[in-house]
């Protein structure tokens, strides 16, 4: 026991020491954020001007950010995919001069799988943000150095996610483990400090996998840090513990939980606080498979921009692009990334609200998350405040979700795990009709009124439904609005245990 504790404390201390260079590099970038970002852009263009993409858009002739905006188009994944296909089929120097190491797969919001090319540079860019966060975390919470950690990593099923279309590609598709995001030295330290290894868990179903995690966590008495993405995932784990009153006493050293706290995830934070009272909850930054946008840093109101990871542009509602030093507090922007993986002016699809002058930002939601059955033009930025107010007004516990449905006639389903469903449906319907387009569709009888569906174990059923669509349990993002049809069947028929 003593040797294990000593090893964990040494591992945490060495990890902090190894991460300090990333923290110092970030702080230096903060001194001149615009110049730091432009230097990043110049490096990308210089290194990759002889690539197929660089020649197609004349990287060699770009002399300024204004030239970059004029010559290189904003792109979505569908627009960059033909270039990715060329790499998967064996062509080199397509997006980057640097060789591709592997492809990571991602599937969000029910979309088809995306193949994201990873280079050594892109991995290093992720490490810079994670390293700066880790150093700051240990520096401001030295008590974390003494305990073990649990990080929600890639669960079972990644092998089955591989698309057979590219099974003969020379590149690995998907990581064996999320630890491959770190260098060899850091992976060794991680193996010392983790409460247990996810890689050793073997389970046939998601429920069995989660049960095994809970069993391992209960045995880990020195747990000091939990890092998950979705707070609802952690809640589902904690609720498997029979005696909820004993949860806090299981981990007397537990000091901090790192998870999403903004956007639709915010609705789960009160429940998580009730389950683990007294444990600090730190909101995660915005990190996608394509790149990292922000990370938490002590003393800031929200996660800060990852200045020395990628080149980041911010689009306003009119499509105008800004750099980090031009952002206005209180404004909402969509994120555009240029990365060492070969994505140039890539529309990530995420929207953020700027909280302070240094660019600290809150995640608001996915920009493209919208639904339009009959011309009602609903999007999450409109729906989210309505459902949040409904939760407060009716003291609802758990999550709420709005989704389109065509059963009998076009209308919207409101899933809720508590409350009087008729009363809640009436309230939400009245709020939605404040939208001209929704009200117009209702008046034309193109849409029927909102139908509320009460599901007691909604969070778990929603998670399992997303897993059935190909998402990883730990990566499922909470949302207030889904645009796909079929959620009645998914939610009601999905096994909740």
Distance CA 244, CA 251 (A): 13
The tokens 């117009």 sit on which residue?
440
* pLDDT score, position 134: 95
* CATH number of this structure's domain 1-368: 3.40.50.12780
406: three-class secondary structure by DSSP: coil
Assess contact for 286 and 255: CB atoms under 8 A.
no
* pLDDT score, position 165: 55
Q: What is the pLDDT of residues 68-109, one digit of tens each?
A: 999 999 999 989 999 999 999 999 999 999 999 999 877 544
Q: What's the predicted TM-score (pTM) here?
A: 0.79
Please, which residues have CB within 8 angstroms of residue 114's CB and are 6 or more apart in sequence? 77, 81, 105, 106, 107, 289
Distance CA 288, CA 371 (A): 23
Q: Tell me phi and psi for residue 400, to 5 degrees.
A: -130, 150
Please, which residues have CB within 8 angstroms of residue 184's CB and are 6 or more apart in sequence? none
DSSP-assigned states of every residue in 96-147: -SSPP-EEEEE--TTPPPEEEEE-HHHHHHHHHHHHHHHHHHHHH-GGGGGS
The tokens 């639709």 sit on which residue?
264
Nearest CA among 288, 278, 433, 415 for reference residue 346 = 288
Q: What is the pLDDT of residues 8-25, one digit of tens each?
A: 899 999 999 999 999 999
* pLDDT score, position 166: 60
* pLDDT score, position 39: 97
* pLDDT score, position 161: 45
Strands (E), 343-417: 346-354, 361-366, 370-371, 378-379, 400-405, 411-416
Q: CA torsion 96→97→98→103, rounded to 10°?
A: 30
Residues of the chain under the 70 pLDDT cut: 1, 107-113, 153-168, 175-180, 198-200, 202-206, 244-245, 264, 367-369, 470, 472-475, 494-497
Q: Residue 30 is encoded by which pair of tokens?
A: 């903060």
* pLDDT score, position 243: 74
Q: Residue 445 is encoded by which pair of tokens?
A: 């009888």
Chain mean position to CA 393 = 29
Q: Residue 52 is encoded by which pair of tokens?
A: 């197929």
The tokens 């002590």 sit on which residue?
298
DSSP-assigned states of every residue in 435-495: SHHHHHHHHTTSSPPPEEEE-TTHHHHHHHHHHHTT--GGGPPP-SB--SS-HHHHHHHS-
* pLDDT score, position 236: 81
State the sign of the Cα–Cα–Cα–Cα dihedral 236, 242, 244, 246.
negative
Distance between terminal CA atoms of the chain? Answer: 35
9 vs 15, 195, 395, CA distance in Å? 10, 12, 43
CATH 3.40.50.12780 location in the chain = 1-368
Nearest CA among 409, 492, 482, 391 for reference residue 450 = 409
The tokens 């001194």 sit on which residue?
31
């Amino acid at each position: 026991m003593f040797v294990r504790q000593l090893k964990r404390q040494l591992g945490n201390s060495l990890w902090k020491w190894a991460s300090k260079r990333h923290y110092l590099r970030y702080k230096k970038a903060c001194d001149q954020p615009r110049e730091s970002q432009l230097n990043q852009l110049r490096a990308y263009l210089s290194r990759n001007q002889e690539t197929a993409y660089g020649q197609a858009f004349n990287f060699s002739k770009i002399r300024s950010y204004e030239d970059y905006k004029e010559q290189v188009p904003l792109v979505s994944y569908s627009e960059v995919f033909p270039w990715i296909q060329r790499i998967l089929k064996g062509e080199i120097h397509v997006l980057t001069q640097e060789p591709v190491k592997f492809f990571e797969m991602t599937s969000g919001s029910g979309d088809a799988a995306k193949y994201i090319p990873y280079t050594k540079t892109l991995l290093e860019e992720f490490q810079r943000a994670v390293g700066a966060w880790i150093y700051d975390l240990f520096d401001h919470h030295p008590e974390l150095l003494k305990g073990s950690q649990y990080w929600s990593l890639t669960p079972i099923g990644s092998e089955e996610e591989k698309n057979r279309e590219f099974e003969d590609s020379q590149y690995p598709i998907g990581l064996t483990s999320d630890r491959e995001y770190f260098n060899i030295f850091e992976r060794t330290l991680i193996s010392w400090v983790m409460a247990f290894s996810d890689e050793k868990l073997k389970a046939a179903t998601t429920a069995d996998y989660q049960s095994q995690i809970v069993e391992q966590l209960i045995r880990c008495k020195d747990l000091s840090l939990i890092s998950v993405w979705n707070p609802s995932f952690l809640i589902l784990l904690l609720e498997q513990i029979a005696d909820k009153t004993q949860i806090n006493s299981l981990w007397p050293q537990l000091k901090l939980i790192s998870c999403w706290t903004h956007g639709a995830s915010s609705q789960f934070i009160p429940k998580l606080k009730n389950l683990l009272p007294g444990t600090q909850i730190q909101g995660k930054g915005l990190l996608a498979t394509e790149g990292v946008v922000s990370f938490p840093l002590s003393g800031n109101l929200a996660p800060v921009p990852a200045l020395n990871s990628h080149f980041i542009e911010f689009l306003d509602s009119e499509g105008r692009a800004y750099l980090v030093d031009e952002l206005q507090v209180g404004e909402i922007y969509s994120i555009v990334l240029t990365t060492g993986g070969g994505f140039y002016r890539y529309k990530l699809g995420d929207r953020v609200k700027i909280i302070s002058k240094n660019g600290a930002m809150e995640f608001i939601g996915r920009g493209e998350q919208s639904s339009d059955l009959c011309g009602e033009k609903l999007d999450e930025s409109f729906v989210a405040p309505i459902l949040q107010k409904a939760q407060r007004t009716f003291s609802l516990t758990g999550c709420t979700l709005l989704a389109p449905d065509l059963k009998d006639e076009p209308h919207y389903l409101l899933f809720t795990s508590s409350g009087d469903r008729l009363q809640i449906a009436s309230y939400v319907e009245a709020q939605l009709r404040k939208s001209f387009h929704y009200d117009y569709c209702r008046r034309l009888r193109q849409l029927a009124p909102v139908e509320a569906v009460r599901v007691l174990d909604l969070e778990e059923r929603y998670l399992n439904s997303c897993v059935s669509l190909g998402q990883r349990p730990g990566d499922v993002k909470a949302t207030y609005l889904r645009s796909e049809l079929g959620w009645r069947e998914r939610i009601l028929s999905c096994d909740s245990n």
